Amino acid sequence: MPTAANPSPVFQVNQITKTYQMGEVAVHALRGVSLELFQGELSVLLGASGSGKSTLLNILGGLDTPTQGQVLYQGKELSLDLSLATETELTDYRRFHVGFVFQFYNLIPSLTAAENVAVVTEIAKAPMTPSEALELVGLENRLNHFPAQLSGGEQQRVAIARAIAKNPDVLLCDEPTGALDSKTGIKVLEALAKINQELGTTTSIITHNAGIASMADRVIKLIDGQIVDIQQNDSRIQAQDLSW
C-alpha cells in the first residue's frame, strides 16, 4: 500500500535469475533476486565485481532481459513488464523513461557538450533545453567544448546532463565515479544528489565503493548474484561530506 512515508514502487522485481552462456560454461549472474525501488528514492546497489549488480541494473534499464522471473515497471505514464517486453517496447522505454550514466561516460566524440545533450532532447517528449541541463550540472560555460577538450569529471557531468535532460522517470548510474579521482567523483555525486532532490527522479547508483553508500536512502548489497542485505539510511549524508 503506498503511503506518504512509503510511496509506490517504480520497480517490482520478483525472483529473477540471469544465466549467461560463456563458451561451455554457464554463468549465473543473478540467482533469484527480488526487490522494490520506490518513487523519488536514491538507492545504491553495492557489491564487488561479479556480484551481479550491473546485470540487475541492465535489466532495470531495459538493456537486457532476465532468464526467469518478472520485472514490473510502473511509471507515471507507462506500465511495462520488462521481462516480457519486445525490443521495440524496450527501446521506447529507454528512450522516454530512463536516463543512463555510464562509468566511461560514452559521449559522442564528434559532438560538443551541448550537442551530446541535444542528441537526447531531440528525440524526447518533454525535455529541458541542453543549456538548462548543463547548467544543472554546472557546465553552463562549457557548452561548445568537444569531449576531447573536457576533463573526466566534466565529461561525466555532461553525461549526467544528457541523462536528465529528457526529464526521465528513473536515472540509472553504472559506476559513475569509477573512472574518476575522489575529488572529481564527489562533484559528480553532488550533481546526482541535486537532481534526485530537485527533480524527484528515482535514482539508482551501482558501485563497489562502500564510501558512497551513506548518501543513499537505501543500500542494497549483492554477493554472488543474490541480495544479502538491504539497509535503510535514516538520514542521507550530503555528497560533499563523503570521502573514500
Question: Could you list the residues that contact another protein (CB under 8 A)?
Answer: 54, 58, 61, 63-64, 88, 91-96, 98, 100, 102-104, 106, 108-112, 115, 118-120, 122-123, 146-148, 162, 174, 179
Backbone phi and psi for residue 42, each to the nearest 5 degrees, phi listed first: -110, 110
For the CB of residue 102, give the shortest distance to another protein in the complex, in Å: 5
The residue (of 155 and 202) whose beta carbon lies closer to another protein is: 155
Three-state SS string over 111-150 comes to: CCHHHHHHHHHCCCCCCCCHHHHHHHCCCCCCCCCCHHHC
The residue (of 43 and 54) whose beta carbon lies closer to another protein is: 54
Sheet holding 9-22, edge to edge: 25-38, 9-22, 68-74, 79-81
d(CA 65, CA 62): 7
For the CB of residue 240, give the shortest distance to another protein in the complex, in Å: 27
For the CB of residue 221, give the shortest distance to another protein in the complex, in Å: 21
For the CB of residue 137, give the shortest distance to another protein in the complex, in Å: 17
The residue (of 16 and 120) whose beta carbon lies closer to another protein is: 120
For the CB of residue 42, give the shortest distance to another protein in the complex, in Å: 21
Closest CA to 174 of 232, 239, 89, 99: 99
The residue (of 38 and 102) whose beta carbon lies closer to another protein is: 102
Q: What letter would DSSP give residue 240?
A: G
The residue (of 43 and 112) whose beta carbon lies closer to another protein is: 112
Backbone phi and psi for residue 192, each to the nearest 5 degrees, phi listed first: -65, -45
The residue (of 73 and 100) whose beta carbon lies closer to another protein is: 100
**Cα dihedral: 69, 72, 73, 77 (round 10):** 150
In three-state secondary structure terms, 38 is: strand
Q: What letter would DSSP give residue 7?
A: P
For the CB of residue 37, give the shortest distance to another protein in the complex, in Å: 19
